[in-house]
Structure 1
């Protein structure tokens, strides 16, 4: 009888521990099973048989996490209630690991949420610091078999270890392959006297020795993956590769034992060397795309720095240095950790934690990057420079992800389910046929079929094409949340534009005032009120009042889509729509206007004469043939006639629309089966941006950073919008061609393999080359597409 294996980790059981009619190798595995069962998470074991790892006893290993200074360095975010930490966990290896790590909140009451980044083997955990500490959290992860790798010096240390292991395997397999080929030369050239008479046995056993580390060290990942797949009753792509390696090694070993021949050690070591080489290049390419994404795609987010002289200077967020004094306006993102200096801090950390309730902060309190000020403006001192990759992480927070289908991903997943089954049927059928003619040919055919047919090229076409387009778009100042947005852009057939701050330029508007002249005190209070707002009209009007000083506000309230109320001492001012400020007569101007009342007395209005962005007419003209176009604005119809002259006749206009009206309009188009793109300024359009299939926020050097949008477009590139959408369509066409090429490669390769015209070593060379060729094809095509965006 075979010895039992542990129900949790799959290791052989020596001192069997029985519990719930199941065998466990140690108390640790039994404890983990009890935890999962108690919390109704026993379905973890249904996903894969014995998916867990045997937990290690810590014995005070994590005591250093009781030190507050160390904890402070490790935590991304911390306030009175919530802590957030990102941990590298080497043991993450399968879907079961992802499932259990994203259900940690069911196991530990102090954990609020957890998100796994599988390629980086990273889990980001949000926890209640009143219920559990970081030390208890790490010890719990260790208990269930997911011990984190923690390094204070280098947060990427774990990832670098993986990179080095591939290099080691590449070196071992390359060294062995070269030596086996060298030892095979006498056989190749039929040097009978030297080979057969004296050193035949020695050379063959040396080749066997060189193949051992290649088979049992370099290729172990294929065996592990194939074993876990079979154990879970899944035929993954590593099954035929592992089978091919076993067949080659077993046949070659038998040949030298019984002196039948020299074997296939050259093919075997060559196969594994070229597979490892292909994996190495694949990882290098992924790392390159990740590097571009994290560090070269700087969002066009500006921030206001307050100089020692008191003057305000607009700078890019990545120019912020430690010690800088910066101004954060209402609804503006805090881009960097800092100390609150002035103002009433009401910080919404929902970007970070997912919880929408704002927390009150007083001068001297610490503020964390990712919070949003929601009650007037504040001044703060930066404690460090900006981490752009952290902003990318905030924007991509799974809390705000929309469930959007990705057609190509679904297609490839569907194909992959049946690929291995069909491949094994072809391999066994071809081998059975050739067995009647020559056993050695049958083995060659069987192995070549298993090696040459690989869905890797098929699977790589989508991520590499879309990943490279992400990089290209980022370099051209069009920043997408993820690669799936490109697919949605390509499918869209309706584009909806906001007007103010989107197709109009805030920097080129001219302003006239009509009404009772404001006193210097009223203008000073008006300037301070506008200083706190991020609305495009507020920012434009604020620049007009630059000569006045700033006064501290006692109260500030901004009602989205309507206006602002602020007070200082005995004075109150309202800025916004006529109804908001309490005026209903004499306000029939058809131009965009901001109305003012002081102490409930209507004063007048600032009339804006908009200047439209350069290239607006061309963008709409390019779009009109393929898309339904709409302008939807909260302003009145004052600009309608002018817009009719600028824009195509088929453009649909809607004015006096509140934020909820914009959202309803998007929903109505989607109910008709249309795929929508909403282009707005990211402020009053948040609901519509979130509802649309693709929400694009146009940013004009302001710190508008909303999780509602799928893309951020630098305002200077607005005239390239059609080119970006067209490039997305071209990218999808590249994917389609790549898929066709992948199928052709597999069909042609299988033909030569089945007809015994392809040796295993040639198949081993062609298999990674096919994947690399798809990567090169996708990269070249997307680079050509990118060059057309002028």
Structure 2
């Protein structure tokens, strides 16, 4: 940094500059922020990027309104006991230093436990202890260090997205200027000597200069800002060659009219910026359309049980059908989909999905519960106090707490190519310009600008997000819901598929059930029914559905033992449901079917035998998958159905029974150690560990609330027989992207040939560039639509 430049914010210092710690600051505010960072061992903030900060604003009394509970409640996402969470929009976020300091707020203020930055959206999500620090103090801290948040209560209350009209304004100005400059250039184009008199020539040229000024310094400013930030961070981003081209055209044109060498290239300049912005506007509108469908139409297949007002009938509904005032049943390990009031039952809520804290919070009747909590005890009844915000569940699903994968991460093809693209293009532009300076200097500027424009990597950068975004949207329409587009790329790389059995390849909605053993008394069967009511296991749901109706009772105690069974207590009566070892029964001779054993008050009563009904198309789907993948079934049940499964599944299928959750997880680890890419398909309950360990975890949804952040995808059970098709479409999607890369390279090679040889004017290059972007978008969208027709035909 030079002596007259502020060490913190990079602004020029005037005569009142402040020298402190052998550094120069433009004001006391910047000096104070530097002092704060230094005292809290955060001075490496300046190592990531020079002068990354902003001048802190005067905030005395500015945020007093945040002490008003009614206003703060509209801003706070989560508020329970000692923890509050808020997401704030920070306009100043612009570089890696910003991310680093905002994600280390806990060092400045220990009462802030977590702060996560969403760089594309310029937001930070802050979790803090509201007993020790207020929302006002959190916002004031951000403002003090130069990251003043933009707060709009209207935005928070409506949830509507702000439409950025800046691009529309810039496009309008560039189009207006382009049209007028072209009009003023007509006499020169057609060499109309009768009109183009000496007294009008200079007037017209300076008018063209005037029209170009707002185009360069306003409409094209983002390209210069992006290029400057990239150079300051020592990163060659894709906007550097564009900014150089615009600057070269403007400088050359200005020099020409000053010295009366010619009319300049203002038509090419304004046309270039106009078509650049037109291409950006097109891609923004198209991608916003895809995002809209993905955010609001591709709902997760999460259902919840609604209780009728007479408290007698229970009905499963989709979460987005929940209305204010609805009474809902939340079973053990179900996610609470809406903010609500606890009506009945004792709640132990795990808010780790929201806060990262895994210690359950005990709640009593009348307490407020927040969306995202997970009930860890017996079934409870709640009353919704607002409708569901599906986008909030999306945020929970994408929470960084659950994104860590044990498997090795991958780098997509676009990221790999973009590292070298700018270096190659700049090298070609410099070499070609140098050649023409020697051969014919009049063509040098044309060649330089044409190379930079024609080789713009927009088409290359658009292929992957549009292709995978379109596939993501179509998958959602066909009830296969993916966390993000990276999952598609990972699905295309897999070579091993592992299936759970119960609730995955078997259906939880059909199949005969028989009871063997001592008859249950009405009291025991009532306790059994109410204990099963709290469980979400597929066998529990099937057994619950066939038992007689009994009065709904609140259990005194309910426990679920992962991979073993469940237990319930009411008054002095106790019941256990699960495996033979769990309930204390003897080994039975019948092993042909899945069995659930019952004991009441420590007395073994008998077992229910389930004649499993396998899903439609299991045999055909396994045969189709066996051609390309290594298949395995990992079941927690006994091997009673091994002989039956062996008959209709491919010979190469590995069958493993009596597998506990840890056994499944370790088996996946063993495959990954052999460099295999693994997909785990489970029911989302006992398989959470295996789903998270796998490269891609797919949870099967059977119209119950089994939402699990451990999974990467949710598949509606009715679409189970489409797994092979989804995998094929994922592979085709990657092939389409690669083929579009080839087309982009061919386009660039041809365009560069004409540009380097001086046969391509900048204005033609500027027109061709957005056309190439549009053609790539149409190409990948059309081919992905054709590829996805396989889903429609087979559905």
Q: TM-score range by the shorter chain?
A: over 0.9
Question: Equivalent residue for 1:343?
Answer: 345
User: Which residue in 2 is equivalent to 1:10?
Assistant: 10
- Aligned residue number for residue 764 of structure 2: 762
TM (norm. structure 2) is 0.97
Give the Cα separation in 1 of the matches to 2:22 and 2:779: 55
Q: Is the 8 A contact 2:3 2:24 kept in 1?
A: no
SS of equivalent to 2:249: helix
**1:611–1:161: structure 2 CA closer, same or farther, 3 Å change rule?**
closer
2:315 to 313, 316, 333: 313
Cα distance between partner residues in 2 of 1:747 and 1:376: 66
Q: Which secondary structure state, in structure 1, belongs to the residue aligned with residue 585 of structure 2?
A: coil
Which blocks of at least 5 consecutive residues in structure 1 are unaligned?
none
Q: CA deviation at 1:406?
A: 6.0
Q: Deviations over 1:301-323 (max 9, x none)?
A: 11111101221111111111000
Aligned to 1:526: 528
Q: Mark the CA change 1:537 to 1:315 in structure 2 (over 3 Å): closer, same or farther.
A: same
Partner of 1:645: 647
CA distance in 1, matches of 2:631, 2:232: 54
Matched residue pairs, number?
789
Residue 726 of structure 1 aligns with which residue? 728
Partner secondary structure for residue 304 of structure 1: strand
What is the CA distance between 1:638 and its match in structure 2?
1.6
Which residue of structure 1 aligns with residue 205 of structure 2? 204
Is 1:337–1:366's contact at 8 Å kept on the other side of the alignment? yes
Residues in 1 aligned to 2:457 and 2:409: alpha-carbon distance in whole angstroms: 19
Task: Indicate the residue corresponding to 2:561 in structure 1.
Answer: 559
Report the 3-state secondary structure (helix = DSSP H, G, I; strand = E; otherwise coil) of the residue aligned with 2:106: helix
Q: Tell me the distance in 1 between the aligned counterparts of 2:159 and 2:587.
A: 68
Equivalence for 2:170 = 169
Pairing of 1:567-578 with structure 2 (within 5 A): 567-578=569-580
Task: Answer with 125-134 or 444-453: which moved more.
Answer: 125-134
Distance across 2 between alignment mates of 1:669 and 1:211: 62
Distance 1:3 1:74 in 2: 43
Counterpart secondary structure, 1:193: coil
Once residues 3 and 279 of structure 1 are traced to their aligned partners in structure 2, the CA distance between those partners, rounded to angstroms, is 39
- TM-score normalised to structure 1 length: 0.97
Give the Cα separation in 1 of the matches to 2:326 and 2:477. Answer: 28
For the residues of structure 1 that align with 2:655 and 2:668, how far apart are their CA atoms? 14
Q: CA deviation at 1:340?
A: 0.3
CA distance, structure 2, for counterparts of residue 153 and residue 772 of structure 1: 36
| Match among 726, 741, 748 for residue 743 of structure 2 | 741
Question: What is the CA-CA distance between 1:416 and the residue it aligns to?
Answer: 2.6
Shift of 1:116: 1.9
Mark the CA change 1:158 to 1:747 in structure 2 (over 3 Å): closer, same or farther.
farther
* Mapping 1:187-226, distance limit 5 Å: 187-226=188-227
Query: What is the rounded CA distance, in whole Å, between the counterparts of 2:648 and 2:506 in structure 1?
Result: 12
Q: CA deviation at 1:540?
A: 0.6
Instruction: Please tell me whether the aligned partners of residues 406 and 484 of structure 1 are also in contact (alpha carbons under 8 angstroms).
Output: no
In structure 2, relative to structure 1, the CA distance for the partners of 1:585 and 1:218 (3 Å cut) is: closer
Corresponding residue of 1:73: 74
Q: For 1:520 and 1:161, how far apart are their aligned partners in 2? A: 60
Tell me which moved more, 73-82 or 432-441: 432-441
Deviation digits for residues 677-712 of structure 1, max 9, x if unmatched? 110000111111111111100001000011111110
Assess if the C-alpha contact under 8 Å between 1:151 and 1:157 holds in 2.
no
Q: Which moved more, 1:636-645 or 1:687-696?
A: 636-645
Deviation at 1:20, TM superposition (A): 1.9
The answer to whether the 8 Å contact 1:408/1:462 transfers is: no
What is the aligned partner in structure 2 of residue 601 from structure 1? 603
**Which of 576-585 and 737-746 deviates more?**
737-746
Residues 353 and 13 (structure 1 numbering): CA distance in 2 closer, same or farther, change over 3 Å?
same
State how 1:367-766 maps to structure 2 within 5 Å. Answer: 367-403=369-405, 407=410, 409=412, 411-586=413-588, 588-766=590-768
Moved more, 31-40 or 394-403: 31-40
Unaligned runs of 5+ in 2: none
Higher alpha-carbon deviation: 339-348 or 467-476: 467-476
Asked if 1 retains the 8 angstrom alpha-carbon contact of 2:242 and 2:456, the reply is: no
Q: Deviations over 1:276-333 (max 9, x none)?
A: 1112122222322221221111111111111012211111111110000100000000
Q: Distance in 2 between matches of 1:336 and 1:571?
A: 34
Question: RMSD across aligned C-alpha pairs, in angstroms?
Answer: 1.7
Residue by residue, what CA displacement relative to the aligned partner does 1:242-290 show, whole Å, maximum 9, x if unpaired? 2211111111111111111110000000111111111212222232222
**Are the aligned partners of 2:59 and 2:140 in contact in 1 as well (CA < 8 Å)?**
yes
Give the deviation of 1:408 after TM superposition. 5.1
Measure how far apart 1:487 and its partner are.
1.4
Give the equivalent residue in structure 1 for 2:362.
360
5 Å-filtered alignment, 1:63-212, equals 63-155=64-156, 163-212=164-213
3-state SS of 1:499 partner: coil
Report the secondary structure of 1:436's partner residue.
Answer: helix
CA distance in 2, matches of 1:38, 1:420: 40
Alignment CA distance shift 1:98-1:780 (3 Å): farther
